[in-house]
Amino acid sequence: MGRRPFIAGNWKMHKGPAEADALARALKTALSDLTAVDVAVAPPFISIPAVAQRLQHTGIHVAAQNLHEELSGAFTGEVPGEMLRQAGCTYALCGHSERRHIFGESDERINRKVHAAFRSGLLPILCIGETLAQREAERVEDVLAQQLETGLAGLEADQVATTTLAYEPVWAIGTGRTASPQQAQDAHAFVRSWLNERFPAYVGKQVRIQYGGSVNPSNAAELLSQPDIDGALVGGAALKAESFVGIIQAASA
């Protein structure tokens, strides 16, 4: 039995509560017959309650874009996993490239966030990917191996099996540039082979690896037809119901 496709939309710093509710309502209507694909949306923190309430009793899950690694404490401006779970989240993004490259989050800190997600009852979506300079230096596999080695450190095999990995080449995020289907498949195949070398066979078979980086309805079908690409982490195209639904339809074809 194949892995069930998983399409997640990262709304980034867009959509306050009213706009987020409107988009969630449109998705709820458009995806009322959703059966073949797992779907999640990641609104800004302030919009999570509105979206979670709107999407109750649907097949659409809510994800957090980030979380703090501690359960509570004097961390002004941060949000812990337990509060996110109480607000209605099922998933949490850990290590999105913008967190790594704009906010300076290290592999070690991202690993603590992955553990915090599990501790809080959330399923992590661990983001990995190389910069353009790293790709041009032919270091893609080295970079991915390091991010996986540290990001998944200390997890049990069963936890790894329920972690979603999102391969998002930094040079393709928000740039309009997309990895070719073969480039994306090569990276995904490497990630799965890395898992197969380090964990029991069921882990590599079960882990879903999403592709992220300028995914849209016109390129989704070809990307998602690759054998090791199990879904997409969608940015800009997730901000409009029509384009996000188009990607989901491509995944269910």
**Catalytic status, residue 168:** yes
197 in catalytic set: no
Six token digits for residue 79: 């949000």
What is the largest distance, in Å, between two alpha-carbon atoms of the chain? 48
Q: In terms of DSSP bridges, do strands 6-10 and 38-42 run parallel, antiparallel, or are they unpaired?
A: parallel
- List beta partners, residue 153: none
Tokens 């850990």: give the residue: 94
* Beta strand 6-10 pairing with 60-64: unpaired
Report the distance separating Cα 180 and Cα 98, nearest Å: 22
48, 129, 41: which is closest to 88 by C-alpha? Answer: 48
Q: Please, is 33 exposed, middle or buried when counting C-beta atoms within 10 Å of its C-beta (0-12, 13-18, 19+)?
A: exposed
The C-alpha atoms of residue 124 and residue 177 are separated, in whole angstroms, by 26
- Per annotation, catalytic residue among 61, 68, 69, 96: 96
Active-site entry in 105, 130, 168, 188: 168
- The count of other CB atoms within 10 Å of the CB of residue 133 is 10
Active-site positions? 96, 168
